[in-house]
Amino acid sequence: MTEISVRAAEKVDSVRNGRKRRGRPRGVVFDVVVVLAAVAFTSPFLFTLLASFRTAADLARAPLGWPRAFTIENYVISINQIHYVSSVLNTVVLTAGSCAVVSIIGAMASYPLGRLTSHLSSLVYRLFAVGLTIPLFVLISPLYLLMRDLGLLNTHLGLIFIYTALNLPVSVFFYTSFVRQIPLDLEEAAALDGCGPFRTFSSSCSR
C-alpha cells in the first residue's frame, strides 16, 4: 500500500510540474499582449500630451519627433482665449447653487410624501415620477421663452432655476425612498422630547 501511495504521489507531482511548465509560456505571452495593449491605448494620450508642450513650428517640422524645447505657451493662449478661470467660477457657482437648492427643496418635499398615505400625496409623488420621463429637448423652447419673459436670460439665477427644475424629480424620488426607510419610532421619540415637525425633519433627514 505504501509503494502504491508513493507512486501515486509522484504521478500527481509530475502532472502538476508539467502543467506549470506548460502554463509559463502562456503566462509570458499573456503578459506581453497586455503590455502591448496598454502601450497602444496610452500612446495617443502621451503623444497629445507631448505635443501640447511643443511649438507649432517644431510640431510641423517633426510631428513624431522629440521636441527641441518644451514650452507652456499653448496652455497660456488656451486659458486666455477660452476665459478658463471665469468658466470654472461660473461652473462652481451654478453647481453649488443648484445642488443646494435641489437638496433642500427635494428633502422638504419628500418628507411629507414619504410619511403621508393620502391619495393627494400619492398623486403628487407620481407627478414627480412622471417628470423623470420627460425628454429634455421638449423643454428647451418653453424654458427659453419663460426665462426671456422673466428677464433671466444669460444669468446665473436663471440657470440655477432651470437645473433645479430638471433635477428636482430625481431628488424627490430618492429622498422619498429614504424617508420611508426611517423608523416611525424615531419620530415618536422626537415628539416625546418636545421636537416640532421641522426639528424632527431636520434631525432625521439632514443627518
Compute the distance between CA of residue 179 and CA of residue 116 in angstroms, rounded to an integer: 11
> What is the number of alpha carbons within 13 Å of residue 81 lying toward its C-beta?
6
Give domain 83-205's CATH superfamily.
MetI-like (1.10.3720.10)
State residue 139's pLDDT score.
87
SS3 101: helix
- Per the CB < 8 A criterion, the answer to whether 172 and 113 are in contact is yes
Distance from the first to the final alpha carbon of the chain: 70
Compute the distance between CA of residue 201 and CA of residue 207 in angstroms, rounded to an integer: 10
What is the maximum span of the chain, computed from C-alpha positions, in angstroms?
98
- Per the CB < 8 A criterion, the answer to whether 102 and 164 are in contact is yes
State residue 21's pLDDT score.
52
Q: What is the pTM of this model?
A: 0.63
Compute the distance between CA of residue 28 and CA of residue 164 in angstroms, rounded to an integer: 54
pLDDT in tens, 29-58: 888 888 899 988 998 888 888 888 888 888
> In the chain, where are the structural domains located?
2-78, 83-205
Residue located via cell numbers 425633519:
201
Residues of the chain with pLDDT under 70: 1-26, 204-207
Could you tell me the three cell numbers for 96? 453649488
If we measure between CA atoms, which residue out of 116, 133, 114, 97 comes closest to residue 180?
114
Q: At what angle do helices 156-180 and 119-131 cross, to 10 degrees?
A: 130
pLDDT in tens, 125-144: 888 888 888 888 888 888 89
